[in-house]
Amino acid sequence: MQFQEATALRIFTDETARGDQRPLFEEIVHKARNARLAGATVFRGPMGFGESKVLHTDKILRLSYDMPVVIEIVDNDDKIKAFLPELSSYENCVVTLTTVQACRAGD
């Protein structure tokens, strides 16, 4: 396998966060696709809390509809940094960048 340096962009938000026309996580994934980034995956967390410190959980006795969501996108650093301005108008998220080693399985 041939690994190369890439950048992982993670956007932390929740299910209730809204973009301009749809849920924020959907809007970001569509924008990433339009920007021709390598791919995007949305993860729904079973438990979490944010700045408010309110605990959100999917346990049956305390079902939440605003569960944590993480959108992860991995591509080369230049493409990820060019995409960052697309996120600047959203207030309901935290964005992180991490340098990673990436390869396509089977290559």
26-72 confidence digits (pLDDT tens) = 999 999 999 999 999 999 987 777 777 777 776 655 555 678 999 99
Rounded distance, CA 51 to CA 9, Å?
20
Which pair of tokens denotes residue 50? 């944010």
Q: Can you give the pLDDT at residue 101?
A: 95
List, in sequence order, every residue forming a beta bridge with 102; answer none if it has no partner.
Answer: 4
* Class level of CATH domain 4-102: alpha beta
Predicted TM-score (pTM) of the model is 0.85
* Phi (first) and psi of residue 28, to 5 degrees: -65, -40
Nearest alpha-carbon partner for 28 in 84, 81, 102, 96: 84
